[in-house]
Amino acid sequence: MRRRRTTGILGALATAAALALSVPSAAYAAEGVLIVNGNEYDNPSGCFPIDWSPSSVGNHTDAIAEVHAGPDCTGPVEWLVHPGETYYTETAQSVFIL
């Protein structure tokens, strides 16, 4: 009896996990404008290049922007730009915002 109950519980947990992973989540983008070196991105989501330096990242969205030291949002995070802030850099190469 005990073995059946354990098997049933494990089966239910596996089914719940499979459903949770298969249900598509709603797409999310930050609301507002991200400004990278004067280029404006409305409701941005993802990785944006920083093509030259010195550079500026203005975050006028509802999300935090990560400024990365490497291209394609790789390398260490150099700075977190909170909503309403502008960050100036001479070394960053990309910005990620969700």
Euclidean distance between CA atoms 19 and 68, whole angstroms: 34
Amino acid at site 89 = T
Residues shown for the chain = 98
Give pLDDT tens digits for 37-71.
999 999 999 999 999 999 999 999 999 999 999 99
Partners of 47 in the beta sheet?
A: 96
Q: Is the pLDDT of residue 20 over 90?
A: no
How much is the pLDDT for 46?
98
- If pLDDT is split at 50, 70 and 90, which confidence band does 27 have? low
Q: Determine the average pLDDT of the residues in 57-86.
A: 98
How much is the pLDDT for 49?
98
- Domain residues of the chain, as ranges? 32-97
* Residue found by looking up tokens 């719940």 in the block: 16
Q: What is the pTM of this model?
A: 0.71
Euclidean distance between CA atoms 95 and 30, whole angstroms: 13
How deeply is 97 buried, as exposed, middle or buried, from its count of CB atoms within 10 A (0-12, 13-18, 19+)? buried
